[in-house]
Structure 1
């Protein structure tokens, strides 16, 4: 097992020890051993970015009441911060400065809502949201299914312009669905399967690319219906079918002629409306379309 796989395995075990909405008081007896195992692994920036182990350890540090666990967690985070390039640190400072400038600007113009709280949706959107950590096995499996569907097959390249990792996007989608249904019941699972199916659809690659690049945000994708997720080709086909159905329904009613000379083969009543249309060449007889006013049965004859 490689270092990245070991870190992922330890991360999942640590998440089970971290309080969550599903488990407010988890067993933390083995946390110290897990953290010590992490301290013995040879880490690098790529592993830290891919596994996001730093977030898990930091969440554990905040929730733990064991001083030894808190100390070791702080030590690990401090060590891992050394892998972050100085340019990233400078970028973070620039973001913080920009955030402070916006806040000062709001203070100057009194940008507050009716309750006096600060409202700046543009600033909130500029910082990607983070999913809630969970140790629930069903939710973890669903996140893994979404992640694999987003990543695609082995020879499929990820698009340019991704602002978040595949795992982050998958977890945000799952988190939004869980918040919507409040449990991991059948409705939740059906919605997960629907999104996995549509993301894997080879005839609709634009959907996967739009989700990965943020054109369709995770929270928006979590609320999309099957019709919304369909490809443009399928949407056009559906429109054509609907139009054909409407045309067929209205065909016998537009300038139709009522008659009791024709009998419905379904209900055997003689309450019909017919319409004759030239559907073939001029030297061919007209086609008669008939609607039974009693049961709605339709048929045609030449």
Structure 2
């Protein structure tokens, strides 16, 4: 199974890199049929790949990735559930990092029974916990790795601001929020693909998921159509083919949206179905 999973992972990466969405969705359908274990996730690194795809700009890809991760979590949860036994076995030490997803509760520092050496400052200790909880959300990584990353983030934020001040607290709030809501961001931070120093200097816009960025761009385009379309002269033409309904009956207008030496942007609306698009 390990060989098949690695082969499927490579096929998925190839499809995503080539922006072949249909092929990627087909490969992800195959992935959903696998029953994975924690050991398989570590050996194949497929969890990190899917984790990043949960924030892909294509909604179908992100939703499919989220569904597979959820299914695998449920599979591993059911696999780890064993009937009560009369045999007495030593319970794990509370200081030992726990195996991820051993139960169906949201992963947090408390749920993972993670303990760490205090920084001596209550607010800084709370920051480590917040960063851990953000990184651990739907993550397959071991607790010791998550704790190491959380402590690295806190140290960088503290060293950047020099004290627990408003700048420190604002950065902590921003990072905590974005780590919770952006799967790709936290997967990259945990894996080391995104350096901790770079993570801590990213703006709110930089930390937004691809899905969120695509949604913002769409809303901005729609607002521009409405705001400028009402005051700009529209012309009807059959020069353009609607990508949605394939009809040619369209209206359009042009305006300068970039620098003066750049071409004008053409905004087109399909009269038949209302589809809108633009090009330069």
TM-score, reference length from structure 1: 0.37
- Highest relative contact order (Cα 8 Å, sep 6+), 1 or 2? 2
TM-score in terms of structure 2 length: 0.40
Q: Could you say which structure has the larger radius of gyration?
A: 1
